[in-house]
Structure 1
Amino acid sequence: MTIVILAFAAGVLWLQTQAALPDGTMLLGMSAIGALCCGASAAKVRLRWVLPVGTFLFGIVWAGWFAGYRMADQLPLSSEGRDIDVVGVVAEMPQITDRGTRFRFAVESSTLPVPRQISLTWYAHRMADDDVPEVVPVVVHAGERWRFQVRLKRPHGSLNPESFDYEAWLFERGIRATGYIRDAPDSGAIKAHVPGFGIGVERLRERLRDRYQSVLGDRPYAGILIALSVGDQQAISPGLWQIFSRTGLTHLMSISGLHITMVAGLFYMLAGWLWRRSSRLPLYLPAQHAAALGGVAAAFAYCLLAGFAVPAQRTLYMLTTVAAASLLRRRPATRQMLAIALLVVLLLDPWAVFSAGFWLSFGAVALLFYTGSGRLAAGHWLSQWGRAQWAMLAGMLPLLLALFQQFSLVSPLANALAIPIISFIVTPLTLLAALPGLQFLLWPAYWVTQLLMLFVAFLADLPGAIWQQHAPPLWATLLALIGTAWLMLPRAVPARWVGVLLYLPLLFVPPERPLEGDMKMAVLDVGQGLAVHVQTHGHDLIFDTGPSFAPDADSGTRVLVPYLRAAGVQKLDGLVVSHEDNDHEGGADSLLQAIPTGWLLSSLPFEHPLSAAPVRHVACSDGQRWQWDGVSFEVLHPAAAQYLHPPPKTNNMSCVLRVVSRQGSVLLTGDIETVDEMRLLQRHATELRSDVLLVPHHGSNTSSSPEFIAAVAASRGVFTVGYRNRFAHPRPNIVARYRERNVQMFRSDEDGAVSFDFRAGGIQVSREREQRKRYWHGA
């Protein structure tokens, strides 16, 4: 049975890696072949592969049918960017952000065709009559029916190498459009409470969150208790998430299998004890069966309260399998229980394979079963605990490095203390506080959490607390997983140490870098903004850092730092911030804090906050030159004299950098406008020619004059623009100018990150959306 379920899971996974969905005819054909294979197996055909092949095909068909149904529920292109009146229900607990309130909205009726599930943001700020932003209180609750006027767009997110796929995340949740609410006279609440089981659960979750917030206020660790009770991880600050990441405690801050099992165990004992107090009830149902049903019911209730995440689902289905086996007086093998849980998860949610939690959750439990089934010798409980910690440390290393490119070296120590405290003290007290009149229990739960966090913060600050490295290639990850299986074999097996050798490529095979005289350039997808990585044989430079999105979120933390870590860049030799503008310097502070940087070159004014950064800061000016590994760098703009009388627009002070390798050249232009282009033509008419041009000012009407385009004579140009940005960049007439010069054009909103490899044989170009194309992208 286990092999059959794994074959089904492999079929589901295969479907989710495809650039296009199989059509209906192909799915019908696969169904027919799968049925023949299963029929042959039932007829006792002596071919072991027949049944797994059939279930593999059924996995493809099952996931394909679900995907086709969801793909059909999409926002028509004709509805994008238009005012649409919608009536529907707030379908989940709203998330409060610095910019407003975000929530899932179940549409019941609309003036134009829209998907059934959309994500809406109700911004907390609007422009008053005097063009000054004013705060507008936003009050919306789960289960309310509202009438809104909205503007929608299809799901779209930035796509960079080794990055999070936001569109996949939305697709899994059935959200087929995103947008915002507009001020309209007929907007407003229609009904305060819409009946429904799911809506009722969301209303309860929100009520509990509000109760906890009212008791604990804005205390620093209040978000931990909220996350442990109702699964609202947004309540935990980014700073705390960093601490949990460095100490390997992230899994404890979601309602994981450990918490579900603990709650189920408590209710199992309570239900069994109460059942035995009766003289008649055990005559109808044995106490152990009643206890099992009580434990499963408690686990189901806690899963609903938690938002039904994949780790919680896995535990619920495993507990249900155990309870069913108890009722049927059977004892299934542990691998069969895990396989059944896997099957149920994928039957209900074929897109669960998108989630890192899916792989970590099933991987961790499978590892514990593997090492606990007689492979690790019995002994004192302390030695057993130590072996289990060692197994988790070594066994989860390949997955964590593949998914996150980091691993906490202090996690065994942090988990040794945090797991029992969170599972057996903090979580039970927090859940009991949900009952009427027991809110006071939040205080002991908070005090215990506060003491625990002192120890956790100490561990997070230890030098070398976390191992960070480049993203390993797939073959190295698979080799390390084989090494894990070999290393965890029974102690009597000889040469188990060979498993350690299979880890070496995972840890020590470095990413490929350009040869001497060559270079690579990646124009990253940061939405409406700019961020470029230039790499030579031994040096790395970032040109601009993209926008800031919110006080605690910017392109530095969300794009640049994860990208550089995955690329194996441990330090930056230089950072260029072209000029003072959020979409170019918004992520600089986060980047400087996270990655050691040699120097900062910019046109920022002296009083700018970045000028106080602990790094050598130099004003960029025409004539600056340096060379790295046979690659030349030269600043062409602004002229030094412009600093004496700065222009009113910071765009005109943009640093312009030309990079020349032996295989080609690139011109990085920032937001220069036509007047700056003319100055460049006057000073460097013969020096502008480049193979690749970063199109000035995102393709606005104020830049890309015909004379400048002719002087650069680039064969390739890149527009860095956000999807359906409010500036309508790039402008059609500007695109037409480049097309007239036969320039091959790339756009970050359509291509994702665009990478150029200047090496022998010419310039090789790769587009991230082409490399990682999946059927849901752009739909």
Structure 2
Amino acid sequence: MRIMTIVFCGGVLAFQFMPAMPSRRVFLALAVAAGLAGLAGWWLRSRWPGMGRGMLLLAACAAGFQYAGWRAENRLAESLPMAWEGRDVVVTGVVASLPQAFERGQRFVFDLDESALPLPGRISLAWYEGPGDGAGQAPPTLHAGQRWRLTVRLKRPHGNLNPHGFDYEGWLLQQGIRATGYVRPDGERVLLEAFVNTFGFAVERLRGGLRERFRQALPEGRYTGVLIALAIGDQRAIPAEQWRVFARTGISHLVAISGMHVTMIAALAALLVGAGWRRCPALALRWPAQQAGVMAGFVVAWAYCLLAGWGVPAQRTLYMLGCVSLALILRREVAPSRVLAAALGVVVLIDPWSVLAAGFWLSYGAVAVLLLVSAGRLGPGGRVLTVLRTQWAVTLGLVPALLVLFQQFSLVSPLANGIAIPLISFVITPLALLFALLPLQMFADLAHGAMVLTMLPVGWLGELPGAAWQQAAPPVVLAVLATVGCLWALLPRGTPARLVGLLPLLALLLWSPERPPAGQARVRVLDVGQGLAVHVQTAQHDLLYDTGPAFSADANSGERILLPYLRAVGVRRLDVLVVSHQDQDHAGGAESVLAGLPVVRVLASLPYNHPLRLIAGPRGEACAAGQAWEWDGVRFRVLHPVDPVGEGRAGNEASCVLQVEAAGRKVLLSSDIEAVSEAQILAREGSAVASEFVVAPHHGSRTSSTAAFIAATAPRWVIFPVGYRNRFRHPAADVWARWEETGVGMLRTDLAGAVSFNLAPAAEPVAERERAPRYWHGR
């Protein structure tokens, strides 16, 4: 049964990599094949056991694939019709999640009531705040369980798509959210019911109340967000800087609601109830104290998982505890591996998209490693040494997965966890939960003080120069081989050639991605929404042209998109960062990039007093026409502006324009220049402006891409860096038509995702949505 469950889950996983939904004929054929294979396996199991087992495994895999397809088809059927995008529509529904505050408003999940409109049942909305909120009223305070009638404007699920980037569309699919949008400031906004009294909404309302309780008790607390995460699973109040420390020290799993926390709470409840039960003879005679304690522990664990947001690690632990509790009540012994397999099967049956979550792999992987090295296999030693050895085993076993998922793992993790696990699990979390149950300020202060003390040595470990190993995202095949090798190395003493298993891990750690050969360059126009960011890579150098937009005061494309991408492709430093001008859709992520990666030189078209000039310091240099350099046989030339920017505003016409040439091919990075600058460049450069690839000036606005500029550049491909359904309506219809008339190939980052091409003899662009398609993209 264990192997059958794993193979079934493998079929579910295989479906999640489908580029498109199979036809109904394919589903029907698979259903027939699965049924025939299952019948054949059942008949052959006693005659030819090996063949029978193989047929049953084939049936299980096909069943998993079929099941995932059925669930996906049902969920995709709820998508917002294209004809309803961008239309104002009045909807009625209930706030179904904890509202999350951001700089300009609140974001929340909204469950719609049934109506005649062809709208999905669950959507994500943003309610933007402003002076008077557009209707002379103060913005409302939203709570889970409120029923509202709202005028909203919706769009289909859409997210930026870049290599190794976060797949927002896939995440929305997993959450069951089939449209996103915002509340219109000039439409209906009527509170119909203060609280819809259902179990699910009551839980969310309770979580919201507890979150507010922590905020009021510790308004200035440095780790208030951590305590909220430990109590109710809401991690969004934890600052990015703290997440970086947790990642470098390998204790991120302790900040989330992990299986360890759920198990600890369940064990404490079982111990207390069991002890009290034994002291009451009437109860003990009716039901054994051990079974009563076990049942109480499971119920408390279930309640804690609900309170914590029902994450995958919590679910996995709850189902495992359920299997163990049932076995104890029935007085049957169950192998731990069977318990783990049962929990795996239940999670995947309930949520087939859970296999896409990093927490799924790390959670089950950690438990599997613990099972492998348990039962006294770690050798002699005291409890402290055993804990350290166990932590070392888990760290080693998860290294390949951590490199694939996050491109880094902590080298100080065993020591940091040795400090943090007992304090966070047995002191801080219980105190946080005590404050949630009994709102005494003492409990909040003690929990926060304990967290401060915990982070003193852990923070020091995180500041060590070699605290974390970081490298490019490795190939999955190499990671799988390294995982098998690590598990082999963790087998009991006496296993032949145990240390040989570390060789694939060594190969994984020494692996580095292939770079362009000398004389060629790789160019990638990244999908950053309504903005621009271009990565140019040569044999030994890297250049980043613009850094995309800033989304809010504490979120920008540099932190969310560019740094993860650059680290994943193996960029350890930038030789040149070009900031074309000061508009936020081009310079919004620059500060994060400068803070997150070593940058040798900053070439910018910014006023002297601009903050980025001050941050760049001596690395900074004004951008001006005539600047040129060569890397590895690749030539870079600045074509605009003629004069460096002074004290004034560096607007669109002062944009730094860069041309890159390699292998006889050119790309023109034109930023936001408009008609005047285009004419100036043509007057100076003439036919030299001709390029194989052109990034459309100013995102394809009406004030750019003149007929003369299009004719002079004469590209084979033009790329429009635009956001999906952006408010500027870029690219303009007449500009698109003007380029289209020339017969040039045309790509938009909102529809294509990141666009990659080589300045090489064979230079054809590759769209990320075509390179790595998934059945939910654009659905």
TM bin, normalised by shorter chain, reads over 0.9
Superposed counterparts of 1:634-645, under 5 Å = 634-640=637-643, 643=645
CA separation in 2, counterparts of 1:204 and 1:222? 18
- 1:750 matched residue in structure 2: 751
Kept after mapping to 1: 8 A contact 2:270/2:293: yes
Distance 1:144 1:687, change over 3 A: same
Superposed counterparts of 1:166-315, under 5 Å = 166-184=168-186, 186-315=188-317
- 1:91 corresponds to 2:96: yes
What is the CA deviation profile of residues 169-198 of structure 1, one whole-angstrom value per residue up to 9, with x for unaligned ones?
111000011111112464221001102111
CA separation in 2, counterparts of 1:134 and 1:508? 62
CA separation in 2, counterparts of 1:766 and 1:159? 13
- 2:462 matched residue in structure 1: 460
Offset at 1:512?
0.4
- 2:690 matched residue in structure 1: 689
| Percent identical | 50
Offset at 1:383?
3.2
Unaligned runs of 5+ residues in structure 2 are none
Deviates more, 1:608-617 or 1:85-94: 608-617
Distance 1:682 1:140, change over 3 A: same
CA separation in 2, counterparts of 1:30 and 1:283? 54
Instruction: Indicate the SS of the match to 1:35.
Output: helix
- 2:488 matched residue in structure 1: 486
- 1:717 matched residue in structure 2: 718
CA separation in 1, counterparts of 2:567 and 2:136? 39
- 2:541 matched residue in structure 1: 539
- 1:662 matched residue in structure 2: 663
CA separation in 2, counterparts of 1:252 and 1:134? 45
Distance 1:328 1:460, change over 3 A: same
Distance 1:258 1:580, change over 3 A: same
Kept after mapping to 2: 8 A contact 1:518/1:663: no
Instruction: Indicate the SS of the match to 2:34.
Output: helix
Kept after mapping to 2: 8 A contact 1:125/1:134: no
CA separation in 2, counterparts of 1:292 and 1:218? 40
Instruction: Indicate the SS of the match to 1:190.
Output: strand
CA separation in 1, counterparts of 2:32 and 2:638? 65
Instruction: Indicate the SS of the match to 1:234.
Output: coil
CA separation in 2, counterparts of 1:576 and 1:377? 56
What is the CA deviation profile of residues 191-230 of structure 1, one whole-angstrom value per residue up to 9, with x for unaligned ones?
0110211111101111111111111113211111111001
What is the CA deviation profile of residues 576-611 of structure 1, one whole-angstrom value per residue up to 9, with x for unaligned ones?
111110000000011011111111111100000011
What is the CA deviation profile of residues 635-681 of structure 1, one whole-angstrom value per residue up to 9, with x for unaligned ones?
111112x74696x7700000111111014110110100011111111
Kept after mapping to 2: 8 A contact 1:85/1:110: no
State the AA in 2 paired with 1:721: V
Instruction: Indicate the SS of the match to 1:589.
Output: helix
Unaligned runs of 5+ residues in structure 1 are none
State the AA in 1 paired with 2:81: P
- 1:154 matched residue in structure 2: 156
Paired residues, number: 773
State the AA in 2 paired with 1:586: G
Instruction: Indicate the SS of the match to 2:535.
Output: strand
Distance 1:637 1:437, change over 3 A: closer
- 1:71 matched residue in structure 2: 76
CA separation in 1, counterparts of 2:546 and 2:186? 38
State the AA in 1 paired with 2:535: H
- 1:61 matched residue in structure 2: 66
**Residue among 103, 122, 125 paired with 2:108:** 103
Offset at 1:32?
2.7
CA separation in 2, counterparts of 1:449 and 1:375? 33
- 1:119 corresponds to 2:110: no
Offset at 1:561?
0.7
- 2:738 matched residue in structure 1: 737
Distance 1:600 1:100, change over 3 A: same
Instruction: Indicate the SS of the match to 1:502.
Output: helix
State the AA in 2 paired with 1:57: A
Instruction: Indicate the SS of the match to 1:407.
Output: strand
What is the CA deviation profile of residues 42-64 of structure 1, one whole-angstrom value per residue up to 9, with x for unaligned ones?
33432220111111111111111
Distance 1:134 1:375, change over 3 A: farther
Offset at 1:234?
0.7
Instruction: Indicate the SS of the match to 1:434.
Output: helix
- 1:10 corresponds to 2:10: yes
- The TM-score normalised by the length of structure 1 is 0.97
- 1:390 matched residue in structure 2: 392
Deviates more, 1:106-115 or 1:167-176: 106-115
CA separation in 2, counterparts of 1:603 and 1:767? 30
Distance 1:681 1:237, change over 3 A: same
What is the CA deviation profile of residues 129-180 of structure 1, one whole-angstrom value per residue up to 9, with x for unaligned ones?
9xxx999433110001011110111111111111110111111000011111
CA separation in 2, counterparts of 1:587 and 1:462? 27
Cα RMSD (Å) of the superposition? 1.7
CA separation in 2, counterparts of 1:481 and 1:644? 56
Offset at 1:284?
2.5
**Residue among 121, 127, 140 paired with 2:142:** 140
CA separation in 2, counterparts of 1:121 and 1:294? 40
Distance 1:383 1:623, change over 3 A: same
Offset at 1:461?
1.4
- 2:30 matched residue in structure 1: 30
Kept after mapping to 2: 8 A contact 1:471/1:567: yes
**Residue among 350, 363, 366 paired with 1:364:** 366
Offset at 1:550?
1.2
Distance 1:615 1:41, change over 3 A: farther
Kept after mapping to 2: 8 A contact 1:665/1:692: yes
> 4+ residue runs of structure 1 moved beyond 6 angstroms?
none
State the AA in 1 paired with 2:482: A
State the AA in 1 paired with 2:248: R
What is the CA deviation profile of residues 662-702 of structure 1, one whole-angstrom value per residue up to 9, with x for unaligned ones?
14110110100011111111111121011000110000100
What is the CA deviation profile of residues 411-447 of structure 1, one whole-angstrom value per residue up to 9, with x for unaligned ones?
1111111111011011111111122454531111111
CA separation in 1, counterparts of 2:58 and 2:136? 62
Kept after mapping to 2: 8 A contact 1:718/1:747: yes
Deviates more, 1:36-45 or 1:6-15: 36-45
CA separation in 2, counterparts of 1:748 and 1:50? 45
Kept after mapping to 1: 8 A contact 2:607/2:646: no
- The TM-score normalised by the length of structure 2 is 0.97
Offset at 1:23?
2.9
CA separation in 1, counterparts of 2:498 and 2:482? 13
- 1:571 matched residue in structure 2: 573
Superposed counterparts of 1:413-492, under 5 Å = 413-492=415-494
Deviates more, 1:416-425 or 1:456-465: 456-465
CA separation in 1, counterparts of 2:13 and 2:771? 18
CA separation in 1, counterparts of 2:378 and 2:364? 20
State the AA in 1 paired with 2:43: A
Kept after mapping to 2: 8 A contact 1:433/1:439: yes
Kept after mapping to 2: 8 A contact 1:700/1:731: yes
Distance 1:100 1:134, change over 3 A: farther
CA separation in 2, counterparts of 1:580 and 1:109? 47
State the AA in 2 paired with 1:85: V
CA separation in 1, counterparts of 2:31 and 2:285? 48
- 1:21 corresponds to 2:21: yes
- 1:675 corresponds to 2:680: no
Distance 1:49 1:363, change over 3 A: same
Kept after mapping to 2: 8 A contact 1:84/1:112: no
Deviates more, 1:97-106 or 1:255-264: 97-106
State the AA in 2 paired with 1:390: W
CA separation in 2, counterparts of 1:382 and 1:206? 39
State the AA in 1 paired with 2:736: V
Offset at 1:258?
0.5
**Residue among 535, 550, 557 paired with 1:555:** 557
Kept after mapping to 2: 8 A contact 1:86/1:109: no
Deviates more, 1:322-331 or 1:720-729: 322-331
